[in-house]
Amino acid sequence: QSAAPAKAAQCFTCHGADGIAKMPDAPNLAGQNESYLVKALEDFRSGRRENEVMTLMAKPLSDEDIRQLAAYYNGIAIEVKKK
Amino acid sequence: QSAAPAKAAQCFTCHGADGIAKMPDAPNLAGQNESYLVKALEDFRSGRRENEVMTLMAKPLSDEDIRQLAAYYNGIAIEVKKK
């Protein structure tokens, strides 16, 4: 994994540094689609999408922060376990 | 993986039967948090959350459909690849 962006620490509480959710209602982010993550963060920042926690988290993020956070979590490689 | 619910086929086009996104803007769903998936589908169905495709997909789903789809994708085991 690439080094986590400065503002990633606040994400780890719920989403984990490894992108596997640590809170029941938080989604896993490991290996998630980068454009999906960018859109989610932009929508939480603009208010187009609402969530008590994420609206607060996203408000102060710059476009560059959003780009780096999306790249960080997308960069965590996952694989589907063979049956 | 448990057998896919009847209505899952329409999801496979973008999200894949294995939960790894087949379309650039669609999120991976493999191993995703069940309550997160239920909430996302409910919000797309109620209009609390908007997306051109998902609003159409979610409209006809029953609560039971939503429960089964969330369980199906949550049931696909994933792991973070060790560095």
Encode chain B (83 residues) as per-residue pLDDT tens digits: 567 888 898 899 899 999 999 887 899 999 999 999 999 999 999 999 999 899 999 999 999 999 999 999 999 999 998 86
- Does the structure show a pLDDT above 60 at A12? yes
> Average pLDDT, whole number, for chain A?
92
Indicate whether A3 belongs to any domain.
no
Cα separation, B10 vs B42, whole angstroms: 17
Here the CATH number for the domain that contains residue B43 is 1.10.760.10
Q: Which residues of A touch B80 (CB under 8 A)?
A: 18-20, 30-31, 76-78
CB B64: neighbour CB atoms within 10 A? Answer: 10
Indicate whether B42 belongs to any domain.
yes
Indicate whether A44 belongs to any domain.
yes
Q: What is the ipTM of this complex?
A: 0.72
Indicate whether B79 belongs to any domain.
no
Q: Which chain B residues have any C-beta within 8 angstroms of a chain A C-beta?
A: 1, 18-21, 24-28, 30-33, 35-36, 39, 48-50, 76-81, 83
Amino acid A6: pLDDT:
80
Q: Which long-range contacts (CB under 8 A, 24 or more apart) does A23-28 make?
A: A24/B33, A24/B35, A25/B33, A25/B35, A25/B36, A25/B39, A26/B33, A26/B36, A27/B32, A27/B33, A27/B36, A28/B31, A28/B32, A28/B33, A28/B78
Nearest residue, CB atoms, B19 vs list A21, A50, A80: A80
Are A20 and B83 a contacting pair at CB < 8 A? Answer: no
Amino acid A54: pLDDT:
93
Nearest partner of B40 among A55, A10, A60, A49, judged by Cα: A49
Task: Tell me how many domains chain B contains.
Answer: 1
Q: Which domain does A50 fall in, by range?
A: 29-77
How far away is chain B from the Cα of A34, in angstroms, using its nearest Cα? 8
Please list, in sequence order, all residues whose beta carbon lies within 8 angstroms of the beta carbon of residue A33, skipping any fewer than 6 positions away. A74, B21, B24, B25, B26, B27, B28
Indicate whether A43 belongs to any domain.
yes
Q: Which chain A residues have any C-beta within 8 angstroms of a chain B C-beta?
A: 1, 18-21, 24-28, 30-33, 35-36, 39, 48-50, 76-81, 83
- Does the structure show a pLDDT above 60 at A1? no
Amino acid B1: pLDDT:
54
